[in-house]
Structure 1
Amino acid sequence: MGGRDAVLRAEGLSKRFGGLLAVQNVTFTQYAGEILAVIGPNGAGKTTLLNLLSGVYRPTSGRLHLLGQDVTDRSMEARCHAGLGRAFQIVRPFPEMTVHENVTVGALFGKPGGRLPEARERAYALLERTGLAAHADKAAHELTLLQDKRLEVARALATQPQVLLLDEVMAGLRPAEAQEAVGLVRSVRESGVSVLFIEHIMPVVRDLADRVVVMDQGQVLAEGTYREVTAHPQVVAAYLGTEEGLRA
């Protein structure tokens, strides 16, 4: 793990939808070079939290700091320009554009004043890093699910983030494919990008995360290493009530 400088700090984030308090007083810090996992049962508020971090939603209360800047009231675009990238669980590339063109779009618009030649060059370098260079000229709709996931990560990296949010990027992958994706996430961190990810597959969390934040019913239930949180009695109770259920 890298230095202990905070790259992302949530302070009392809450989000209310009418009478539903989907996220309640969530506080955590992510440090530079860290892979931080957010886990929890279905309905725990994980995706709502990710939407608060990325700017899809504005919090009902609380503050968010990115790389030392208060970005609570900034738009998704402004947060992207400030160094926050996101890859989505449901991949929606531009299907008729080539793989290279899809990543070029991210490279061109991820930062203000982007120029097409540099964007195209950066996009191709990212295709090589993510194992998609051989598919650069294919239409995006021709890719397999694993390749789609790699394209989503490449598009997010094209915006030159310092912090990358990943929303269940392993979903739908076979075990061998998930291990490939684990290697990709590790390579992202090795390139100097801090990663925060949501995941249901516990072996992936075990293999990837430096620290884990556990959510339940919109609140932080526990925080620590994988070993620490999986031994926490309330976490065990939240996951099917047994240690065996948690490990499954």
Structure 2
Amino acid sequence: MTGQVVLRADGLSKSFGGLQAVQNVTFDHYDGEILAVIGPNGAGKTTLLNLLSGVYRPSSGRLELLGQDVTHSPMEHRCHAGLGRAFQVVRPFPEMTVHENVTVGALFGQPGTSLPQARERAYDLLERTGLADQAARAAHELTLLQDKRMEIARALATGPRVLLLDEVMAGLRPGEAAEAVELIRGVRADGVSVLFIEHIMPVVRDLADRVVVMDQGQVIAHGTYREVTAHPQVVAAYLGTEEGLGA
């Protein structure tokens, strides 16, 4: 895939004491692309996402967002520069309404936004994510699927050009996961590039334009779903069977 690079990781590494959690990870993420990062448990995927979003600072390497060096930038700077993130474990403000939760995202992500503007943007995103009818409910009353939708709406409220998703399908039933897939496709259609971590291989197959595969902190393959699932190192990392990859 070619085009504008919206996110570029160049030799990103992260050590915790003697543990090398991420080692020399390099990839480009292109404008309009849905990019998946997969790998067995302990492969370093979440650590990588934490490096991209600014939770961790890298031990070495460089990160560019929309051509800007953000290697050592704090999370809020990356957010204001166009990077959003939805977390696997949703942590809303439980006593606030769904609408208020998303309004907070709009206020935080776009400095200078007035409260009326943030409220309007939040409601637009609740409509976009199928939660408009839940706007006045307390966040703690939502179902798991609704929680996931609210988390994505809150991340989108920050106005990202690139959205990071950390296993947003976790805990969803197959029908719910299919709804979430369509929601993510809609996010891309609205002009937001998506990078996601996922364990459910049929979701990766159906959603990703390209796939980056990690094992033991390193990238071992990248390409289309068909290309990476035929790669010998990838097959070995997933219990030695193509069936284990959902190929």
Alignment TM class, shorter chain as reference: over 0.9
Task: Report the aligned-residue RMSD.
Answer: 0.9
Specify the alignment match of 1:130 in structure 2: 129
Specify the alignment match of 2:120 in structure 1: 121
The one-letter code sitting in structure 1 at the alignment partner of 2:167 is: E
Deviations 1:206-228 (A, max 9, x none): 00000000000000000000000
Deviations 1:28-52 (A, max 9, x none): 0000000000000000000000000
Specify every segment of 5 or more residues in structure 1 that has no aligned partner in the other structure, as ranges: none
Specify every segment of 5 or more residues in structure 2 that has no aligned partner in the other structure, as ranges: none
Instruction: Kindly report which structure 2 residues correspond to 1:204-223, keeping only aligned pairs within 5 A, or say none.
Output: 204-223=203-222
Instruction: Kindly report which structure 2 residues correspond to 1:141-160, keeping only aligned pairs within 5 A, or say none.
Output: 141-160=140-159
Specify the alignment match of 1:44 in structure 2: 43
Shifted more, 63-72 versus 108-117: the winner is: 108-117
Give 1:113 shift.
1.4
Deviations 1:83-122 (A, max 9, x none): 0000000000000000000000000111211210000000
Deviations 1:3-39 (A, max 9, x none): 6100000000000000000000000000000000000
Taking the aligned partners of 1:39 and 1:109, their CA distance within structure 2 comes to 30
Taking the aligned partners of 2:226 and 2:243, their CA distance within structure 1 comes to 14
Specify the alignment match of 2:80 in structure 1: 81
Give 1:70 shift.
0.3
Specify the alignment match of 2:239 in structure 1: 240
In percent, how many aligned pairs have the same letter? 84
Deviations 1:33-75 (A, max 9, x none): 0000000000000000000000000000000000000000100
Deviations 1:150-194 (A, max 9, x none): 000000000000000000000000000000000000000000000
Taking the aligned partners of 1:245 and 1:190, their CA distance within structure 2 comes to 31
Specify the alignment match of 1:26 in structure 2: 25
Is 1:224–2:223 an aligned residue pair? yes
The one-letter code sitting in structure 2 at the alignment partner of 1:204 is: V
Partner SS, residue 64 of structure 1: strand
Taking the aligned partners of 2:130 and 2:245, their CA distance within structure 1 comes to 33
Taking the aligned partners of 1:93 and 1:245, their CA distance within structure 2 comes to 34
Taking the aligned partners of 1:245 and 1:202, their CA distance within structure 2 comes to 9
Partner SS, residue 160 of structure 1: coil
- Structure 1 segments (4+ residues) deviating >6 Å: none
Q: When the two structures are aligned, how many residues end up with a matched partner?
A: 247
Deviations 1:134-161 (A, max 9, x none): 0000000000000000000000000000
Partner SS, residue 76 of structure 2: helix
Give 1:247 shift.
1.4
Specify the alignment match of 1:67 in structure 2: 66
Q: What TM-score results when the alignment is normalised by the length of structure 2?
A: 0.99
Partner SS, residue 137 of structure 2: coil
Taking the aligned partners of 2:241 and 2:126, their CA distance within structure 1 comes to 42
The one-letter code sitting in structure 1 at the alignment partner of 2:174 is: P
Give 1:127 shift.
0.2
Partner SS, residue 223 of structure 1: strand
Specify the alignment match of 1:179 in structure 2: 178
Q: What TM-score results when the alignment is normalised by the length of structure 1?
A: 0.98
Instruction: Kindly report which structure 2 residues correspond to 1:159-178, keeping only aligned pairs within 5 A, or say none.
Output: 159-178=158-177
